[in-house]
Each structure stands twice: as structure tokens, then as C-alpha cells.
Structure 1
Amino acid sequence: MAFTIFACISLANCGLEYNLKKGEEHLALGEYYDAAEQFKQAYLKTPVKERENRGKRALKMAICYDKINATPKAISAYANAIRYKQTSLNDKINYARLLLKNGQYKMAEKEFLELKDSLPENILVTNGLISAQKAPLWKKQGSRYKVKRMDIFNSRRDDYSPMLYGDHHDQLFFTSTRNESLGDDLSSITGTKTGDIYVSLKDDKGRWSRPEVLNSGVNTTFDEGACCFSADGREMYLTQCSTDPQNPRYAQIVVSQRSDATWGKGAVVELTRDTLSSYAHPAISPDGKWLYFTSDMPGGLGGLDIWRARITPTGLGGVENLGTPINTPGDEEFPTFRPNGELYFSSNGHPGMGGLDIYIAKTDPQTHKYHISHPGYPLNSEGDDFGMTFEGTLNQGFFCSNRKDGRGYDHIYSFNNPEIVQTVKGWVYEMDGYELPAAEVYIISNNGLNKKVPVLSDGSFNIIAQPGVSYLMMATCKGFLNHKEEITIPKVEESQEYTLQFPLASISAPVLIDNIFYEFNKATLTSQSQQALDQLVNLLNENPHVTIELRSHCDYKGTREYNKKLSQQRAEAVVNYLIKHGIDKNRLTAVGYGKEKPKVIRKKLTEKYPWLKENDVLTEDFIRNQTKENQDICNQLNRRTEFVVLRTTYNLFDSKGHLKHSPSGQKKNAQSDEDFNVHFE
């Protein structure tokens, strides 16, 4: 019997040593889930009378449980380590912060008050005490935010870091560790499948599809997550965490290129030559000039900090830390941008409600310094809240949180804040044609804004505008004349969207002047023509170096001589109107073509008249082969007034061929597009 007992004790000791050894090996590799299990077994095998050893092993468990968001287990383990007097002041800070994260504000306050006596200057202790005392009040006060758990996206594992994509925000990319993810093994770090990028699509009725794993080269058997997209939508930046059974591996940022509708394999983005630090949670600034990210590299303020690197045509520039007031000795993570330039990020170092809270960073237009604000409850909770994505300029979209999940899993929520927002939506398109996705819009305002914005694939652009501010917007596109619009945003008490149209005239093709009317069989312009003619006057004033030929056309009815004379007189009538309204006569040529140049059908017109085909020519023979009704339409299309651009250099050069007005240097505006974080508020 004695031998049996001795053998059992020996086997138990061997098993304990094995657990401790494996636990340390897993911990060194960052495999916190497996390490926690080994330390738990070691703790259970340690006799109660070995108080010091039990305390040390409880502390190891607490650290690992904290890393995998098993908050209740981490709190219990820390409590045991404290009971056995095996914790440092930093361990007690972590314990108090976990109490905050679990919503145990009274207990957290008690712990922070005790720590305050020993660490009166510690920022985490100071902010933790503020959090414990104020979080219940913030929760009671609430805010204008409304949140809803989006079960259509969520699984029974982690679903996090949503990111909207597409011109109409109808694709949602996010990370999930659900069972459908690639690979057969469970992660030694989290105890779940490794994360993959998933996508859900929204139909024309606003309903989201069940998520499916992104079928491309992006996903691997490693962890992929926290993605974002370049300003043009052609690049996906994401975090990738590879594994190595022998050495710890650190998170890195990779970039995937989009070809047609497929995302390619990610290539590592080298931010620094430091291979012993993590780089994660990429975000691209709205102007496309900066890559923001999270890192624990040396030179930060402690824990994880937010950094940025300039994006240049030749690659990434040097990295810089955002510093205070954004970064703290705690963790700052998951940067993301609202289109108006506001930076959203998550932190457990600022006063908050517990865990990671979402904060908003705005820059002062004069000093360019950050101002940090806390959006309150229910956007924030006692748990981790992070990973914002916005539906265009609206203050609504999605984020993720592990609130009210006892196992610490992250889930996706929607949010909406019905704030008062004034937006301007513009449409840039060719006259008598389609949208111009290659166009750009220059915007200046009387409050100092000077900005260039691209348009989306449908020729549209969106900005958030300030009430009481006047804006001038000039649309440009290669091969087309410029067009400008002006608008002053009224001061109103509700959100409104103002729509502006930017029809651009082609330099190389005839441009129809719509709604020009003459008296029957005469060259006299009717009063209904004034609006169209005034728009032409504005166009010529906006493009002062352009000369044009005014062309008038008739249908095939009547003699060639009569139609030629009438069309010439009508073209001259338009020219005379333009001269009378201030346009230099040397910029204008009137030509009446009669019925010599029948209309050539462009594709856009076939949408209105399906019986016509692109490049059909409305000759007399063509028209006579149509139905009576369609003949009338063809004749109407032939009776038109157009203009074509002859020159774009009128009055630019002197007699020696030199520019009359050389470009002069202009003082850089304090808020030009070269400055950091230019936005429309």
C-alpha cells in the first residue's frame, strides 16, 4: 500500500512538472489557450498547503485567460493569486481593469482606490478609477446611438472587424472563427478555428445574405482579420497571424490586389525592419495618403499604440506614432475613419466603461491637434467595443462587441446615430451620355476648404457640408470641358441632402444643346430657350479659352437651299444671343448645315428608343423605313442645335507664342489637401 501511494505521488509530480513545462512552452509562443489549460492542470495538482506555488500558477492562468478574453476565469484566477500573495502592483492593476470589463464597478472602484495610494501618478490607475465611478452614470444617461445585434452575420464563435465595401456599401467583409473557416486544427492561441475573411451581400431590398467565406487567395490556414480597403477599392489591407511550432510569430499586415472580382494572395507590407513587433489593424485615411495601424514596436507610449505611415507612389514612408492624446500606457487599437475625416479607435487606457471602448478623434482646423471624445452608452459597454465601419457619410453602420457574452466571443452589431448632417451629392456625367468615373471635383469654400475628390464608378461623389458655408465645386475630366456649381448650405434643424448635377461637354464630339426652340419656319428664338442658352453662356464663361462652332440642323423636309438658309439663320441667332450676353464674338462661329449632317445615334439614346441602335444614322432613307410614329421621332432628333469645340487655347498666348499669364506661386491654404485629416466639417 505504501509503495502504491508513493508511486501515485511520484506520477502526480511528474504530471505536474510536465504541465508546467508545456505551459511555459505554449506561453512563450503566444499560445495562450493551450498554456491556460496546462497551468490549470498544474494548479489543480498543486497541494493546497503549497500556497506560494498555487499563487504563481494561478497568476499564470490569469494572464492567459485575460489574453483570450475569458474574463470571468481571469478574474477568478487573479483573485486566487492575490489571496496567495503572489501578485505585483501591475498584476493588481490588471485585476482591477478586468473587474471594469466585467461590469463590477463597485469592486473595481475599491481596487483602484487602494492602488491610488501606492501609484498616485499612474495614468491607468487614475483613468480606471474615473471609469469605475462614472461608468454607471454614463450607462444611465445613454446617448442618441441605437445598437442592434446582427444575428444574420454572427456565429457561435468570434465575428469581428466588419468593413463595408462597394459604391453602394452593399458588401460587408468581416473576420470569423466559425467552423467553416479553413484548416482542420483549432488554434493554440484562442482554442477556436483560425480566423478567415467572410463576406455578406445586400440585395436591392436591403436584405443581407448569409455570410460565406471569401473564396480567393486572401484566406489561408493562418489567421486573417481586420481588413480595410484603399481609396479606389482595388487593394485590401488585412492582418495575418502565421504560426510556427518552434518560435513566436508576430502579427503582420498584408495587402491583396483585386483583379476583376477576385482578391489575390496577400503580400507582406514592410512597415519597418523590426521583426520582433506586431503590426495589425490597418486603416487607410479618406484621402488615401496614410496607412494607420496598431503596433507594440519600441517608441510607443506603452502597450499597443496607433501609428501611421505615409503612402507614396514609390511605397510607404517612415512610420510615426500618433502620440498623445490618442495613445496611452494602455492599448489603442482598431483605427478606422469616417469619410469626413474623423478617426475612430478603441482603447482601454482612456476613461471608459470597461474593456476596449470606442473613441472619436477630431482635429482642430486651426491647430491640427486632436480632440478626443467618448460617444457613451450603448455604443460602448463594459465589454470590448471596436471595429467601426460607416455607411457612406451617414453616422450608421456596424461594429463589434463581446458584451453580454460569458465566453468572451465577439459579435457584430449595427449602430445608428440620427445626428443632423448636411450632405451634398454630385453627379458628373457627359452631356447626352453616361457617367464619367474618371472625373475629379475641386471643392473650395469660404471657410478655407480646398480639396480635390474623385468620383465613384457611377460618377457620383458625396461630402458632408457645414451649415452656413458656401461651396464652389468644379468638375473636370480629360477630354471634356469643366463645369462648376455653387451652393450655400442653409442652417436647418434636420438632416438634408442637396443634389448637384455636373454635365460635362465633350471636346471631341458634337454636344447637343437641349431645349432650344424657334418660331415655326423662322430663326426667332422663343422665350423657352432662355434657360438652355444661359447655361451655355455659363459654360463658356467657365471655360474662357474655348472657341466653339454653333451648328443648326434641319430634317429632310423642304429643299436643300431653304433648309441651309434657315439653319444658318438659326445658328446666327444663337451666336447673337451669346454675344449679347458677354461672350467674345471671336470665340463663336455659326454654321447652318441644313439636312447635310443627319444625327448619329449614341448608345445612351437607345435606352430611350430601343428600336434605334448605336451608330444608326438618321438619313432620309433610314427614316422612311420606320413607322409613322418613329419617323416623327427621327425628324425631331434631326432638328437640333449643337456645338463642337474648335480650340481650347483661345487668348492663352501672345504673338510670340508665350503664355500671357505665367502660373505664379500661391500661398498654400492652411487646410489644403496636403494637410493631415482634411474633412468637410
Structure 2
Amino acid sequence: MRLKNHIITSMVLVINMAVFSQSGLQKKADNLFNKFSFVDAAHVYKELISKNYNTDYATRQLSDCYAYMRNPDSAVVYYKKVIEQPNVPNQYYYNYAQALRGVKDYKESRVWLKRYKDEGGEINEANFLKDSDFINSIFNAKPQYFLKDVNFNSKYSDFGAYEKDGSLYFASSRDEGVSSKHIYGWNEEPFLDVYVKATSSKDSIVNNKFKLQGAVNTMYHEGPLTMSKDGKTMYFSRNNFNKQVLGKTDEGITNLKIYKAVLVDGKWTNIEELPFNSNTYSIAHPALNSDETKLYFTSDMPGGIGGTDIYYVDIDSNGYGTPKNLGSTVNTNKNESFPFINNEGNLFLASDGHPGLGLLDVFGTVSDENNNIISVINLGTPVNSSKDDFSFFMSEDGLSGYFASNRDGGVGSDDIYAFDRVPPLKIEGTVTDAETNTPIANATVTLLDSNSNPIATLKTDENGYFDINIDRDTDYYIQVKNDAYLDNTIAITSKGINRSVTSINANIALNPDRSKTPIIAELQTIYFDFDRYAIRKDSTLELDRIVNLMNTTHPDMVIKIESHTDSRGTKKYNDILSEERAKATYDYLINKGIDASRISEYKGFGEQKLTNQCDGTIPCTEAQHQLNRRTQFIVIRME
């Protein structure tokens, strides 16, 4: 009996020791996970799964490890097991959906996004409903970005390309040529440093000799960066490491901060920490606007909208203002990062919260006339892929730039990609009345191809304005119609248009259709004595009738005054005389109470528009000459 008890006791001890050992293994894995050492943590969680210890938890943690390591191929495998677990937190439905996008399974991704939403998950309803159309539109859209080869990427992480004055700056963990490397546990790569090379250089080997000169680089992370216009001030991200002291939170986490450096004798020095940094959260990814009055950045500070948001601070002679969140149009409940402001003042960013093709996508923003951001637009392919796409940079002319991606087919974990850009081209213009030069609202504008087949139709706005996107190197026609006017069609071409040009002007005038003018009592012609412009007594009867007609019967009628002479006298003199007759007629109507806005124009035509053959080449009677000494009234508009 004692022997049996001894055996049982020994078995319990062995089991307890095994459980204790596996419990310690899980503690080790969680400790690595919490320190962002995801590569090592993944190995330990796999060991726990193989030993069948707390498998559901270990599988969830392992799937998150792969997600943090930006490895959707492996994440999908383990998230699929996670979502089959009982009582799994609904956040894993969202995580699985995102991982599925990372492997381009958009149909299945929408299934699990819906499950996440149905289980109470927070998701933008409009974005969810249009997701299918969004994917189709992205892949069917005409690209404006075209990728170029970059030959200096390494087998490690390279990103944050920033071009300035013939030099290309970027962050890299390559650290090649250095015998002692500091390894970052998140991805087991060396820590990031800032490198710089000449943009004109074709060198494919960029080693530690290309590291930025000065005091910017340390043994921890540096980059990405931005610079002032004069190239003498740099803002850059760095781990909380200053004066050889590494800062940590109470949980042992080292956050990111933004520092400033100045260029002195070819070296970056005088490192300063910006005053709005914090030891308890990260501030990173600096970006200056074109006039250097605002510094944009990424932060996970308390009070934000999502995981990380885009903020900015104002810069003036007194220093830096208080961080301001860009709001819910830009920021989502997920992650927004890597802001960049182009020369036109437009914001670009990376996000995994706005509708995208995979993990992080690059987005641009659209602003109204008051520079308020009103929408966020996915840049589409080939800038974006099913993987991470981020750290967007555009040259001052907007025709080239860089971004980074960990997409399939790259050299390292993150690679820098260069692009040429062909901006979209549009025709824009104003449709006006040919006689009054006033804008015509609600005119129908149709874009036709070179064979007169309709491509697009729209209406002019209240100012007569229209714009239509077109292809480059193509011939078109523009047809304009309005019920009160004669149709007008013009030819226009985008052939030979420089790549930097983004719009072609096409102002179009329409002539009133007199056959459609409402029938009213005819406005009679009035006549003048020879070589005189005074209003005759018999003419006042007709002028008074016109005044009464405009003020009572047709209070919205607008007219135009045209005055003429006979052919006697010089052309120059007759031009002046007809202008005087037009002015005298105008003054009479105004003095009788007609509002000036209701007379669109008064103009003299001299002897240009004779009503008969009395041009001086044949004998004419005084009565025949009298027919040419006249003022006529033309109805421009009637409501």
C-alpha cells in the first residue's frame, strides 16, 4: 500500500512539475510579447501549443504575434483556428478579416467584417457597405503612379525616403559592415539608423559609410525625418534616448519621441527634444508643411480617436503650440501614421482604418476652399498592395516620389519604392451667354470621343462652371446645350500636354435662341435726326411704353441697347455718334426708373449694320438714310 501511495505521489509531483514548467513557459512568452519581442514570443507560444498547454490562449497570442510582425500569411492560419474557439472576443473577427485582406481574400474578409459588426464591433457603416464597390473601383481605376526600380534596398527594413537638395535620406536597419549589431526583438533586425546618398548616384551598395554625419544616429531607432526649406533644420523620430540615457515607462517600454537637429559644418548636431514629447506615450513621424508653420506627427497619446492618430502643432516665433488631433475625417478607431504634406498643402498618410487593400494603405486627403479636410482617398494600385504600404513622399513638382512596402517580391522586410506620377487631367471652364457674358447655370455639358460618341454628361453649377476628367493624348469634343440657347460644340485635345499640367481651360459661349424667346409686344425702334443724338419727342412715346412694359408687365425682363448711324460722315465719327445715341437712350430709361442691372449693355455700332443698301455707293433719299439713324432694343432674358 505504501508503495502504491509512493507511486501516486511521485506521479502527482511529476505532473505538477510539468504544469509548473509550462506555466513558466507561458509567463516567458507573455513577457516577450509585452516587450514587443514577437519573433521569440512566437517560438515559445508554438512550444506551448505543441505541449497542449492553454492552447486557445497561446493560439490567440501566436496569431497576434504574426499580425504585429506584418505576416498575414501565417496570421491567417492561426486566426482561422482562433475564430473557431468558443466565446472568442469579437476583436479577433476583425483581426482575421484584416489578415484575409493581407492575402487578398477580400470576399471572405467581408464575411468576417460583417460578423465583427454583428457582434457589436465598431465599424464605419458607410465604409462597410461600399467595400465591395471600393475594391472593384480600385482595381479598375486608371493608375497615375508608375513604379521605378530602386537598387539600394537591403535584406532588412528600409523606409522613410525623403529627398532634399540632391540627397536622399532614409531609415534602415541594414547596419552592414558593423561587427557588433544591436538587435530589435520585435523583428530581430538591427535598430534603425538614418542613411543618406546622392539621388544621382547609381550605387547599389549603401553601407555604414552612408550613415548620416553627426549626432543623430545612436544605438537605438532613428527615422523617419523631415527638413526645413533651407535644409539646415531636421526633425526626426528616435527612441526616448537622449544624453546616453534610455527612457522607459513603468512597464519597461521605451517610446518614440521627435527631436530637432541643426546642420553645422556638414554635420547634424545640437540635438534637442521637442517640448511636447512625453515619456508615457509615443510621438513620431514628423512632417512639416510647406511654409513651416505646422509640424504634423503620429501619436498614441490619451484622448485620441484610435490606436495612433495624426496630430499637428503650430510653430511660430514663440516655439511650438499644443498638439491638436486632426479629427475623425482623417483619424479612425484603428491606426493612422506617417503623415506627409506635399507642396500644395495636401496631407498624405498611412492607415489600416480607412477602406484599403490590405494592412496599411497610403491615402491622400481632399480639402475645401477653407483648407478643411473633407475626405480621405485611397491612392490605389500600384502604391497600395495587400501588405503594408506607408511612408509616402512626393517631390515639390508632384511628379515623382517614394513610399515603402513589405509587399511580396521585395528584397527585405520593408523596401523603398520609387514612382513617377502622371497627374489626372481635366477640362474645366465656364459656359456663358455670348451677348451678356453672364454665366449659364444648368447647361448640359457632354464630353464626346473623337467619333462623337458620348463619354460623360453633367450640368454646370450656379456659376456656369464645369469640369470633366479626361485621358491624356486624346482628342475630344465638348457639346453644350441649354433650352434658351443654340447648341455649341467645340473640339479639344489633350495631345502634347506637359505632364505637370492638370487642367485644360475650355470656356464656351452660347448664343440666345431667338425662336424660343417669349413673345411680347415688340420693342419698337426709335430714330434720330441727322448728326444728332438727342432723344426726339416722338421717340419718348416708345421709350415710355418700354418703361411701363418693364416695370409692370415684365418686371424680370432684361434688355440690351444697340444704336446706329447712316453712312454719311467718317467711320470714326459715326462710331462716336452711335455711342452717344446709345448713352442718351440708356440715360432716358434709367431716369425713368429702370434699374441699371436690367440693361445688360448699351453700345454703338456706327454704320456697321445698315438696314439697306445706302452705304454711299448708290444715291439714297433722306427717308432711306433715316432708317439707319436708329436705336434698337433686344430682349436678353425674360423669366
What band does the TM-score fall into relative to the shorter chain? 0.5 to 0.7
Q: TM-score, normalised by structure 1?
A: 0.56
Helix, strand or coil at the partner of 1:139: helix
Shift of 1:315: 1.6
RMSD: 3.3
> For the Cα contact (< 8 Å) 2:365–2:373, is it kept in 1?
no
Shift of 1:317: 0.8
Residue number in structure 2 paired with 1:147: 147
CA distance in 2, matches of 1:133, 1:95: 21
- The amino acid across from 2:233 in the alignment is E
Residue number in structure 1 paired with 2:343: 339
> For the Cα contact (< 8 Å) 2:350–2:390, is it kept in 1?
yes
- The amino acid across from 1:36 in the alignment is A
Shift of 1:282: 0.6
Q: CA 1:42–1:325 in structure 2 vs 1: closer, same or farther (change >3 Å)?
A: same
> For the Cα contact (< 8 Å) 2:70–2:388, is it kept in 1?
no
> For the Cα contact (< 8 Å) 1:291–1:309, is it kept in 2?
yes
Please say if 1:187 is aligned against 2:184. yes
CA deviations over 1:140-162 (Å, ceiling 9, x no partner): 44512212342x12111111111
Partner residue of 2:498 out of 495, 499, 506: 495
Partner residue of 1:196 out of 193, 197, 206: 193
CA deviations over 1:43-97 (Å, ceiling 9, x no partner): 22225xxxxx211111112222212212222222222222233521112111111
Residue number in structure 1 paired with 2:232: 234
> For the Cα contact (< 8 Å) 1:218–1:265, is it kept in 2?
no
CA distance in 2, matches of 1:24, 1:125: 35
Helix, strand or coil at the partner of 2:23: helix
CA distance in 1, matches of 2:423, 2:142: 15
CA distance in 2, matches of 1:496, 1:111: 43
> For the Cα contact (< 8 Å) 1:399–1:413, is it kept in 2?
yes
Q: CA 1:113–1:133 in structure 2 vs 1: closer, same or farther (change >3 Å)?
A: farther
Shift of 1:256: 1.6
CA distance in 2, matches of 1:276, 1:395: 40
> For the Cα contact (< 8 Å) 2:82–2:92, is it kept in 1?
no
Q: CA 1:497–1:79 in structure 2 vs 1: closer, same or farther (change >3 Å)?
A: closer
- The amino acid across from 1:217 in the alignment is A
CA distance in 1, matches of 2:386, 2:393: 21
> For the Cα contact (< 8 Å) 2:91–2:116, is it kept in 1?
no
Helix, strand or coil at the partner of 2:98: helix
Please say if 1:100 is aligned against 2:104. no
Q: CA 1:181–1:299 in structure 2 vs 1: closer, same or farther (change >3 Å)?
A: farther
CA distance in 1, matches of 2:149, 2:132: 26
CA deviations over 1:27-58 (Å, ceiling 9, x no partner): 333333333333232222225xxxxx211111
- Identical aligned residues as a percent: 28
Please say if 1:45 is aligned against 2:51. yes
Residue number in structure 2 paired with 1:488: none
CA distance in 2, matches of 1:3, 1:142: 74
Shift of 1:406: 9.2
Partner residue of 1:329 out of 327, 333, 352: 333
> For the Cα contact (< 8 Å) 1:227–1:238, is it kept in 2?
yes
CA distance in 2, matches of 1:226, 1:347: 17
CA distance in 2, matches of 1:407, 1:17: 39
Residue number in structure 2 paired with 1:178: 174
Residue number in structure 1 paired with 2:626: none
Residue number in structure 1 paired with 2:85: 84
Report the more deviating stretch, 13-22 or 378-387.
13-22
Partner residue of 2:362 out of 332, 348, 358: 358
Q: CA 1:178–1:143 in structure 2 vs 1: closer, same or farther (change >3 Å)?
A: same
Matches within 5 A, 1:164-175: 164-166=163-165, 170-175=166-171
Q: CA 1:255–1:33 in structure 2 vs 1: closer, same or farther (change >3 Å)?
A: farther
Q: CA 1:85–1:321 in structure 2 vs 1: closer, same or farther (change >3 Å)?
A: same
Structure 2 gap segments, 5+ residues each: 1-6, 241-245, 427-466, 468-492, 502-639
> For the Cα contact (< 8 Å) 1:235–1:257, is it kept in 2?
yes
CA deviations over 1:359-398 (Å, ceiling 9, x no partner): 1113212463433222221111111111122232132111
Helix, strand or coil at the partner of 2:262: strand
CA distance in 2, matches of 1:408, 1:113: 34
Please say if 1:163 is aligned against 2:171. no
Shift of 1:2: 9.8
CA distance in 2, matches of 1:395, 1:406: 23
CA distance in 1, matches of 2:133, 2:89: 24
Helix, strand or coil at the partner of 1:123: coil
Please say if 1:22 is aligned against 2:28. yes
Shift of 1:402: 1.2
Shift of 1:345: 0.8
Shift of 1:307: 0.2
- The amino acid across from 1:495 in the alignment is N
Shift of 1:227: 1.1
Shift of 1:336: 0.5
Q: CA 1:5–1:413 in structure 2 vs 1: closer, same or farther (change >3 Å)?
A: farther
Structure 1 gap segments, 5+ residues each: 48-52, 423-467, 469-490, 499-681
Helix, strand or coil at the partner of 1:264: strand
Matches within 5 A, 1:172-571: 172-180=168-176, 184-203=181-200, 207=202, 210-211=205-206, 212-242=210-240, 247-264=252-269, 266-272=271-277, 274-366=278-370, 368-404=372-408, 409-419=413-423, 494-495=497-498
Q: TM-score, normalised by structure 2?
A: 0.60
Q: CA 1:80–1:320 in structure 2 vs 1: closer, same or farther (change >3 Å)?
A: same
> For the Cα contact (< 8 Å) 2:194–2:211, is it kept in 1?
yes
Please say if 1:34 is aligned against 2:21. no
Aligned length: 420
Shift of 1:218: 1.0
> For the Cα contact (< 8 Å) 2:309–2:337, is it kept in 1?
yes
Helix, strand or coil at the partner of 2:113: helix
CA deviations over 1:578-624 (Å, ceiling 9, x no partner): xxxxxxxxxxxxxxxxxxxxxxxxxxxxxxxxxxxxxxxxxxxxxxx
> For the Cα contact (< 8 Å) 2:423–2:500, is it kept in 1?
no
Q: CA 1:112–1:58 in structure 2 vs 1: closer, same or farther (change >3 Å)?
A: same
CA distance in 2, matches of 1:133, 1:21: 45
CA deviations over 1:223-254 (Å, ceiling 9, x no partner): 11211112221122111125678711111111
CA distance in 2, matches of 1:200, 1:190: 26
Q: CA 1:286–1:20 in structure 2 vs 1: closer, same or farther (change >3 Å)?
A: same
> For the Cα contact (< 8 Å) 1:202–1:208, is it kept in 2?
no
> For the Cα contact (< 8 Å) 1:143–1:375, is it kept in 2?
no
Helix, strand or coil at the partner of 1:323: coil
> For the Cα contact (< 8 Å) 1:346–1:385, is it kept in 2?
yes
> For the Cα contact (< 8 Å) 2:313–2:324, is it kept in 1?
yes
CA distance in 1, matches of 2:410, 2:72: 8
CA distance in 2, matches of 1:91, 1:497: 46
CA deviations over 1:459-508 (Å, ceiling 9, x no partner): xxxxxxxxx9xxxxxxxxxxxxxxxxxxxxxx97622789xxxxxxxxxx
Shift of 1:132: 5.5
CA distance in 2, matches of 1:348, 1:497: 31
